Structure 1
Amino acid sequence: MSDDDADESAEPMDSEDPNDDGEQYHLEVGPGDVADSVLLPGNPERVEKVVESWDDHDVVAEHREYRTATGTYDGTPISVTSTGIGSPSAGIAVEELARVDAESLIRVGSCGAIREEASVGDLVISTGAVRQEGTSKEYVREDYPATADYRVVSALVAAAEELGYDYHLGVTCSTDSFYAGQSRPGFDGFEARDSDEKIDELRQAGVLNFEMEAAAILTLASIYGLRAGAVCTVYANRVTGEFRTEGERKAAKTASLAVKYLAEMDGAVEDADASRWHAGLSIER
């Protein structure tokens, strides 16, 4: 029988939704495969570096750019799913993780700083993101804010402080292009229209860094009622011209510890019979 005949004889799907059977179409994870909190690096090879500081882990799925592992960090359930490069694939990850009951998502990556004070090897913890990418615009109007959940930001700051890492807190710019979109020259010196003006405007507005996924993750998480945040290690400083892959594991260690703190924050809310975590509630340090 030919491949064409096989296709014609296949049973029709009961639903247009490719995830109808519970296993997600792209991530290939199902209910119970991931913890409530999931770290989101871009590079699938970074998954093994993320889990180095965990107590244990198992790789539960691997398909295309998406590699997922689940384990524990200091006794706290935790997962990691790589998203590939850019907001379109990161948006797919958010969609499918939400469908298998993930509740907290933390982007873990690298970035280029556009302010001198954010040195190579430092961390940038995003409070929000400029939506200079197209994926989130497919979901909601352009003036809808991409904001990080205040609990995730608090947990990331607490983790960076505990680990003794230098970090910066502020707004990130997410782009669809590593080159033209981030005001870098393209092939043969090509420069995008208004390239210099764009980066100057962002600097003057206090934007700290460029990367390619945070805005979509934050926007979709907000729409779906999930907690989300982002922490990136600075690899490049666009002001000083430095570029080094330094401190690669800092963001992963910070995010992993932040997941533990989020669990403790949730416990403090339950113990206090409060409606949500606030600064008046303590967490164990």
Structure 2
Amino acid sequence: MSTSSTAHIDPKGVEIAETILLPGDPLRAKFIAETYLDDVRQFNEVRNMLGFTGTYRGAPVSVMGTGMGIPSISLYTYELIHFFGVKNLIRVGSCGALQEGMELYDVVLAQGASTDSAYVQQFGVRGTFAPLSSFRLLEAAARAADALGQRTHVGNVLSSDVFYNADAAALDPWRRLGILAVEMESAGLFANAAAAGVDALGIFTVSDHLLTHAQTTPLERQTAFNGMVEIALELVR
């Protein structure tokens, strides 16, 4: 299934692969394409949300920025799934660690995504829906991380709508419930994937620690998080 274009994605005839990596930053998408992929062709530049298709060890794969927050990633992934036939959606991004024993550059594999967003209410469930990743992708990512010698943590993350919170203690209850890290997109991605019957996963590099206040630089967040990308690319094969 494919369409020529949508309001937000205009491939101009370039194929979008069934497997796609989804960083928030479009410049990170460009970096991934230029660094890791062969035979790269750009498939999107609408609103500067850059997207590229290439091959990794002979297998087709795409990479595209999604912007920040659940509304943005949900819009793009809905179109990728329903109009362009994407079946494996792998978010690669940064996160803020919430637990002791986690360090900068550790990788978090999101088994599930708790959220303070109302996004999932649209699906009409009369209760609390728990957005989960694809176990198939999660299991493969854990194996790939072990093979690469990458230090990882597997568990629940928080997809929050709020970056600058007026309540300084807002994350404390989530931390007490074992949430590993906070980011801003995965719950929307996982919910869209679940509703469409496709596979999704979130892979994150710890960019800052909300207990120790250690943090990486903006340039490192854009280009230096190689471990999570290498894990994600192993899923393409």
* TM-score with structure 2 setting the length: 0.90
| CA distance in 2 between partners of 1:89 and 1:30 (Å) | 22
Deviation at 1:162, TM superposition (A): 2.0
Q: Which runs of 4+ in 1 moved over 6 A?
A: none
Gap change, CA 1:203 and 1:70, over 3 Å in 2: same
Q: Which of 103, 106, 129 is the equivalent residue of 2:87?
A: 103
**Residue correspondence of structure 1 range 146-185 to structure 2 within 5 A:** 146-180=131-165
Say which SS state the counterpart of residue 117 (structure 1) adopts.
coil
Structure 1: where are the runs of 5+ without partners? Answer: 1-19, 181-190, 261-285
Structure 2: where are the runs of 5+ without partners? Answer: none
Q: Which of 54, 58, 62 is the equivalent residue of 1:75?
A: 58
When Rg is computed on C-alpha atoms for both structures, the one with the higher figure is 1
**Residue correspondence of structure 1 range 12-91 to structure 2 within 5 A:** 22-29=4-11, 33-51=15-33, 52-91=35-74
Question: Aligned pair count?
Answer: 228
Percent identity of paired positions between Structure 1 and Structure 2: 31
Range that drifts further, 251-260 or 20-29: 20-29
Q: Which of 224, 232, 235 is the equivalent residue of 1:255?
A: 232
Higher relative contact order (CA 8 A, sep 6+): 2
| CA distance in 2 between partners of 1:204 and 1:21 (Å) | 45
Deviation at 1:56, TM superposition (A): 3.1
Is 1:93 the counterpart of 2:76? The answer is yes
Range that drifts further, 46-55 or 76-85: 46-55
Say which SS state the counterpart of residue 146 (structure 1) adopts.
coil
CA contact 2:14–2:41 (8 Å) conserved in 1: no
CA contact 2:20–2:61 (8 Å) conserved in 1: yes
CA contact 2:30–2:51 (8 Å) conserved in 1: no
Deviation at 1:203, TM superposition (A): 1.4
Say which SS state the counterpart of residue 175 (structure 2) adopts.
helix
Coordinate RMSD, CA, aligned: 1.9
